[in-house]
Amino acid sequence: MSFPHRHLLGIEQLAPRDIVALLDLAETYVDLSRSRGKHSDALSGLTQINMFFENSTRTQASFELAGQRLGADVMNMAMQASSIKKGETLIDTALTLNAMRPDLLVVRHPHSGAVALLAQKVNCAVLNAGDGRHEHPTQALLDALTIRRAKGRLHRLVIAICGDIAHSRVARSNLLLLGKMENRIRLIGPPTLMPSGIGEFGVEVYDDMREGLKDADVVMMLRLQKERMDGGFIPSEREYFHRYGLDRDKLALAKPDAIVMHPGPMNRGVEIDGTIADDINRSVIQDQVEMGVAVRMAAMDLLARNLRAEAA
């Protein structure tokens, strides 16, 4: 299995066969994680550093667990509290860490493109855990694995992505991945939360959610970030929920076996009705979390194989 990439910076760089290879390997890690002895030595002897310049609980925990299950030495650095406050530049932070000789660097940063910039300055493999509004590749990959397992395929599906598309790196990575795998993508949201030039992306854009959900196989909800409220992007949470929140009525327009996804953390009653999120027949939100660990194990394993091949 070849994965011709030094880093995992975005979905943009991946070919469809890279995506399939990664998901196939992730399947084996789903099985491993479900077994009693949840351990492999794939990353044994390697050092993984998680650098989060932006708050995160679930993504960081997921990467940490993924590394530990594969036997890596894992260290977490809460970058918000440390050197950037002292005025150190991103490049200097990167060089400092690089000198500690990590093998895998997992980075989240509030600015688009920052992870790629950092990757230019280090010798190890870098995984983008979210950069600004740009990309969040492991999220798109875990979503893809979840869809593939629930639907039996990852192509020719009608996938509706709803909510704050403009500010969402999850939406961007999903758009790229699901597009590469040849699905029909619909974007649903108020025009204030739609990125400009979106019509040129080969997607269908809807500001009426009911219309957009018609016959969808997958309904992917995005989190409405509270800070968007102050920006005047939407008039109020209740109007937003009324028009763009996922409730029984609206979901009934999608295919009867449509699955409901959400990258979390959820705002119940803002973008999604709590009873739908908890409906085990429709919601795959918990599966997404589980697939997240497996996909991250697979991604780190593939990059580590390349590192070892390079050293040999």
Contact footprint for other proteins (CB under 8 A): 12, 89-91, 109, 111-114, 116-117, 131-135, 166, 169, 172, 195-198, 200-201
Cis before 265? omega within 30: yes
How far is it, in rounded angstroms, from Cα 274 to Cα 178?
27
Closer of 8 and 26 to other proteins (Cβ): 8
Closer of 202 and 269 to other proteins (Cβ): 202
Closer of 203 and 276 to other proteins (Cβ): 203
CB 163 within 8 A of CB 129: no
Closer of 21 and 95 to other proteins (Cβ): 95
Element (H, E) at 185: strand 184-188
For residue 140, give Cα distances in angstroms to 12, 62, 68, 176, 292.
Answer: 11, 14, 22, 9, 10
CB 231 within 8 A of CB 149: no
- Give the nearest distance from C-beta 174 to other proteins in angstroms: 13
Closer of 175 and 284 to other proteins (Cβ): 175
Closer of 166 and 246 to other proteins (Cβ): 166
- Give the nearest distance from C-beta 170 to other proteins in angstroms: 11
Helices (H), the chain: 16-34, 58-69, 90-99, 114-119, 137-151, 169-180, 209-213, 227-230, 237-244, 248-251, 274-277, 285-311
- CA-based angle 83:301:265, to the nearest 5? 60
The residues with which 265 forms a beta bridge, in sequence order, are: none
- Give the nearest distance from C-beta 237 to other proteins in angstroms: 24
Helix axes 16-34, 169-180, angle to 10 degrees: 110
CB 153 within 8 A of CB 182: no
Closer of 114 and 258 to other proteins (Cβ): 114
Sign of CA dihedral 213, 264, 50, 142: negative
> Three-state DSSP class for 247?
coil
Closer of 90 and 106 to other proteins (Cβ): 90
| Dihedral-angle region of residue 215 (phi above 0 means left; psi in -120 to 50 means alpha; beta otherwise) | left
- Give the nearest distance from C-beta 84 to other proteins in angstroms: 11
31-46 residues labelled b (16+ CB within 10 A) or e (exposed): ebbeeeeeeeebbeeb
- Give the nearest distance from C-beta 40 to other proteins in angstroms: 34
